[in-house]
């Protein structure tokens, strides 16, 4: 069987970094990985060529593929477009269209890069946490939403805007199962984050997660308020193993957690549906300021490709090979500017891709 | 004129720490400060004595006073009560009842405590940022909210919970004015934080803040997405001067910002209404584990009293005297356990209050 990958480079540095991940996957072909690639437009580049950020044929290609390798979207020059035409809508749209409700965002500190963090080395050395973010519900998609004239309350008669936070039981149950199972495979600890002292939606979240937890007696479940979690991630991040939370809190906390590592050019992510179909992307953005200059670090995208082999295809061996190749380049190879240090050879995006391929060959 | 202060000690360490702040304010009487205190029940202690966390007479006393000095509320043993009876509801209720829409939360690093942070000293040394959080609107109070059976969408027929995020024009305008004016008195920079790429409410927020900004040409206004802000606070917190944001994002970001300092026993806050009436409280919680043991650091509450003199009464001189007394105790005095270091004398809650009073006397 040939694995069919839809490649969506997107904007800014997207094309350069996805090209390196494709190069690394191609290199595994000679070792028996049966894989092929088809490219599609998404984001600002799709808007420019097709008039919309998420063309129908892009969704269709994703649906006809076994997984999606995604670069990044975002283009400041399009920020004044009506919201539904902006590049970022493509990422929201494709998550929803493919029902990618489970977002895995690991935050780990590589030994060789422990000094990259703004936190004291002893606080973050060896950090390895996983944030499981619900990705297709919450206030991101809840209706009604919009602008109107207030019909009641103290501001009656004036303009107001509103959104709806909302979770149905099934949505909470399925992400809870995913998170408990992830915790089983890791350190056996799950912290569910909510604001149950204020929000009805998250009190319901807490209740359902607690219920689901009864099926996972081998996982130690705790609950934490989101404001406290934002503090605890700074105070003692290593107290966490897996964190599960809703779409909005997950957006904020996973970015905070990734910055704990100091090297967001290193962090991959996966967004999965019920049957482990997934979209894989680096957590960093499209970085238009360095686009096309062979400066971007492709490691996060290459590691996203490794996650794809693991989560969607169950090809743990190939995944580990890629991860080890990345580690050996970190240890002895050249580096892009974002992680460069005295004593290391400096290279570009393509050079980093080549170094990873060379490290694979040496295994 | 006698300044009439309503003192609401609340739960846990609340009574001990407010007692120290009262002691410090009393000490200024001999220097001409004309002030008197009346106590009221709030939080878990009010629930135990009166059956509700925010008794009517407590709100009435606040309304009949010139300002409120608040300790902390929260009592784990009451966490299983129906939500409207839990201690935390008192703080939400009193904010709303007194229309305290403007929450000021400074996060500053004292030179003597720069090593308390989990961040590298060079990243946080000299940090001095102010978060202005809107406190009476947003998803905290928006209606409708609750539980129901979903009437439409893919989860039709099953249980769901929901909340409403909501801001009216006036609510955004007034907090924007407060924030711009705070920036004028400080470094002249204001960063407004939203999630305008996803939420209608916060796109409206961005539009109105931008409009209000035209009246403050001496303030440099920028906008940032909340997820990015959670990262930037870690990456380079000193890039910020004043941050203004909504109730929910403010809850999360202000806690993150306070933990940057590493010493949340030092951080005061103010919650003001349109006419500068205010409620003043430490940002830390009720810490039931150390309650009644003379272990809590009262400095955050003492500094909250200083904020009261400044913001509600315009008594800048007395405010600065208290702040200087705190600084001199930090430099040469005894310390509570949370900020104790080798070479310092260890003291308790009351001892710290006495030391601040003694420092005042020496000025
Ligand atoms: C671009 C934006 C809509 C998106 C989100 O908020 O989900 C991004 O921040 C992310 O985390 O992938
Ligand atoms: C206790 C809770 C309701 C409250 C809030 O969320 O506002 C607290 O976290 C705060 O920040 O004062």
Q: Which pLDDT score, from 0 to 100, does residue A5 have?
A: 98
Q: Residue B232: give its domain's CATH number.
A: 3.40.718.10
Q: Are residues B262 and B161 both part of a single domain?
A: yes
Q: Are residues B319 and B193 both part of a single domain?
A: no
Q: Measured from the CA of B255, which atom of ligand 2 is nearest?
A: 11
**Mean pLDDT, rounded, for B27-52:** 97
Q: Which residues of B touch A169 (CB under 8 A)?
A: 155, 158-160
Task: Output b/e per residue, B130-153; b: 16+ Cβ within 10 A.
Answer: bbbbbbbbbbbbbeebeeeebeee
Q: Which pLDDT score, from 0 to 100, does residue B221 have?
A: 98
Mutate to test the pocket of ligand 1, among A91, A136, A304 (most ligand atoms within 8 A of CB): A91
The three-state secondary structure class of B7 is strand
B300 annotated as a binding-site residue = no
Catalytic residue status for A152: no
Please answer whether residues B6 and B14 qualify as being in contact, where contact means their C-beta atoms are separated by less than 8 angstroms.
no
Q: Are residues B136 and B116 both part of a single domain?
A: yes
C-beta of A111 in contact with ligand 2 (< 6 A): no
Helix axes A349-362, A316-332, angle to 10 degrees: 120
The answer to whether residue A345 is domain-embedded is yes
For residue A168, which of A213, A117, A205 has the smallest C-alpha distance? A205
Backbone angles phi, psi at B287, to 5 degrees: 40, 60
Q: How far apart are CA B168 and CA B141, in angstroms?
A: 12
Q: Are residues B288 and B350 both part of a single domain?
A: yes
B147 touches chain A (CB under 8 A): yes
Catalytic residue status for A140: yes
Q: How far apart are CA A171 and CA A163, in angstroms?
A: 19
- Beta-carbon separation of B164 and A165 below 8 A: yes
Q: Where is the domain boundary, B223, B240, B266?
A: B266
Q: Which of B207, B225, B255, B344 is catalytic?
A: B255
Q: Measured from the CA of A74, which atom of ligand 1 is nearest?
A: 1
pLDDT-derived band at A336 (thresholds 50, 70, 90) equals very high
Mean pLDDT of chain A: 96
Residue B98 C-beta-side C-alpha neighbours within 13 Å? 32
Q: Which of B140, B216, B280, B318 is catalytic?
A: B140
Q: Are residues B119 and B205 both part of a single domain?
A: yes
Lowest mean per-residue pLDDT among A69-78, B74-83, B172-181, B257-266: B74-83
Q: How far apart are CA B93 and CA B279, in angstroms?
A: 13
pLDDT-derived band at B153 (thresholds 50, 70, 90) equals confident
Annotated binding residues of A for NAD(+): 285-297
Q: How many domains does chain B have?
A: 2
**Mean pLDDT, rounded, for B197-224:** 97
Q: Are residues B250 and B340 both part of a single domain?
A: no
pLDDT-derived band at A161 (thresholds 50, 70, 90) equals very high
Catalytic residue status for A227: yes
DSSP state of B345: P
Q: Are residues B309 and B228 both part of a single domain?
A: no
C-beta of B197 in contact with ligand 1 (< 6 A): yes
A198 touches chain B (CB under 8 A): yes
Q: Are residues B254 and B287 both part of a single domain?
A: no
Q: Which pLDDT score, from 0 to 100, does residue B152 have?
A: 86
Place of tokens 């290199």: A27
Q: How far apart are CA A283 and CA A276, in angstroms?
A: 19
C-beta of A279 in contact with ligand 1 (< 6 A): no
Q: For the segment A245-274, what is each residue's pLDDT rounded down to a tens digit?
A: 999 999 999 999 999 999 899 999 999 999
Query: For residue B33, what are the domain limits?
Result: 1-98+277-363
A140 alpha carbon – ligand 1 mean position (Å):
10
C-beta of A91 in contact with ligand 1 (< 6 A): yes
Q: Are residues B284 and B236 both part of a single domain?
A: no
Q: Which pLDDT score, from 0 to 100, does residue B83 have?
A: 85
| Chain B nearest C-alpha distance from A126 (Å) | 15
| Chain A nearest C-alpha distance from B108 (Å) | 15
The number of beta carbons lying within 10 Å of the beta carbon of residue B323 is: 17
SS (H, E, C) A111-137: HHHHHHCCECHHHHCCCEEEEEEECCC
C-beta of A231 in contact with ligand 2 (< 6 A): no
The answer to whether residue B272 is domain-embedded is no
The answer to whether residue A323 is domain-embedded is yes
Catalytic residue status for B79: no
Please answer whether residues B296 and B13 qualify as being in contact, where contact means their C-beta atoms are separated by less than 8 angstroms.
yes
**Mean pLDDT, rounded, for B346-352:** 98
* CA distance to A203, B114, B318, B321, B329, per residue, from B324 (Å): 44, 18, 10, 5, 9
Q: Which of A195, A311, A318, A338 is catalytic?
A: A195
pLDDT-derived band at A80 (thresholds 50, 70, 90) equals confident
B232 alpha carbon – ligand 1 mean position (Å):
16
For residue A134, which of A84, A188, A193 has the smallest C-alpha distance? A193
The chain B residue lying nearest A157, using CA atoms, is: B168
* ∠ CA A247-A249-A255, rounded to 5°: 100
Identify which ligand lies nearest to the alpha carbon of B135: 2
The answer to whether residue A46 is domain-embedded is yes
For residue A89, which of A101, A78, A99, A104 has the smallest C-alpha distance? A78
A159 touches chain B (CB under 8 A): yes
- Beta-carbon separation of A155 and B161 below 8 A: no
B105 annotated as a binding-site residue = yes
Q: Are residues B81 and B147 both part of a single domain?
A: no
The answer to whether residue A25 is domain-embedded is yes
Q: Which residues of A touch B259 (CB under 8 A)?
A: 230-231, 234-235
The answer to whether residue A231 is domain-embedded is no
B166 touches chain A (CB under 8 A): yes
**Mean pLDDT, rounded, for B324-341:** 96
Q: Which pLDDT score, from 0 to 100, does residue A27 have?
A: 98
Q: For the segment A9-60, what is each residue's pLDDT rounded down to a tens digit?
A: 999 999 999 999 999 999 999 999 999 999 999 999 999 999 999 999 999 9
The answer to whether residue B258 is domain-embedded is yes
Please answer whether residues A66 and A4 qualify as being in contact, where contact means their C-beta atoms are separated by less than 8 angstroms.
yes
- Beta-carbon separation of A161 and B200 below 8 A: yes
Going by DSSP bridges, is the β-strand pair B128-134/A128-134 parallel, antiparallel, or unpaired? unpaired
Q: Where is the domain boundary, B228, B247, B266?
A: B266
C-beta of B198 in contact with ligand 1 (< 6 A): yes
Q: Are residues B157 and B253 both part of a single domain?
A: yes
Asked whether residue B339 carries a pLDDT value surpassing 90, the answer given is yes
**Mean pLDDT, rounded, for B218-245:** 98
A252 alpha carbon – ligand 1 mean position (Å):
9
The answer to whether residue A167 is domain-embedded is no
Q: Are residues B135 and B262 both part of a single domain?
A: yes
C-beta of A251 in contact with ligand 1 (< 6 A): yes
Q: How far apart are CA A284 and CA A288, in angstroms?
A: 12
Please answer whether residues A53 and A85 qualify as being in contact, where contact means their C-beta atoms are separated by less than 8 angstroms.
yes
Interface of B with A in 231-260 (CB under 8 A): 231, 233-236, 248-249, 251-256, 258-260
Q: Where is the domain boundary, B239, B266, B293?
A: B266
Task: Output b/e per residue, B185-212; b: 16+ Cβ within 10 A.
Answer: ebeebbbbbbbbbbbbbbbbbbbbbeeb
């Amino acid at each position: 069987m040939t694995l069919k990958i839809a490649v969506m480079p997107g904007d800014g540095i997207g094309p350069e970094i996805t090209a390196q991940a494709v190069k690394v996957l191609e290199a595994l072909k000679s070792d028996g990985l049966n894989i092929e690639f088809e490219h599609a437009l998404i984001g600002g580049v799709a808007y420019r060529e097709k008039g919309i950020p998420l063309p129908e044929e892009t969704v269709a290609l994703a649906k006809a593929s076994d997984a999606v390798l995604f670069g990044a979207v975002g283009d400041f020059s399009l920020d004044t477009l009506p919201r539904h035409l902006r590049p970022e809508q493509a990422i929201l749209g494709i998550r929803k269209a493919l029902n990618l409700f489970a977002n895995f965002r690991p935050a780990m500190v590589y030994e060789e890069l422990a000094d990259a963090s703004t936190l004291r080395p002893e606080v973050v050395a060896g950090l390895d946490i996983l944030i499981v973010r619900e990705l297709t519900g919450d206030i991101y998609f809840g209706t009604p939403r919009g602008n109107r004239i207030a019909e009641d309350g103290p501001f009656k008669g004036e303009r107001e805007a509103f959104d709806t936070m909302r979770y149905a039981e099934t949505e909470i149950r399925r992400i809870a199962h995913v998170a408990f199972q992830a915790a089983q495979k890791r350190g056996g600890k799950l912290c569910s984050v909510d604001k149950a002292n204020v929000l009805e939606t998250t009190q319901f979240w807490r209740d359902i997660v607690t219920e689901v937890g009864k099926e996972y007696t081998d996982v130690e479940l705790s609950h934490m308020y989101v404001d406290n979690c934002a503090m605890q991630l700074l105070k003692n991040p290593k107290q966490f193993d897996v964190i599960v939370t809703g779409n909005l809190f997950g957006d904020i906390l996973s970015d905070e957690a990734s910055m704990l590592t100091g090297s967001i050019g290193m962090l991959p992510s996966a967004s999965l549906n019920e049957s482990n179909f997934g979209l894989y992307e680096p957590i960093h953005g499209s970085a238009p300021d360095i686009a096309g200059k062979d400066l971007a670090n492709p490691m996060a995208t290459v590691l996203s490709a490794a996650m794809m082999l693991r989560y969607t295809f169950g090809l743990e061996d190939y995944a580990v090979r890629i991860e080890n190749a990345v580690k050996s380049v970190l240890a002895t190879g050249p580096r892009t500017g974002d992680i460069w240090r005295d004593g290391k050879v400096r290279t570009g995006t393509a050079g980093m891709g080549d170094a990873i391929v060379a490290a694979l060959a040496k295994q």
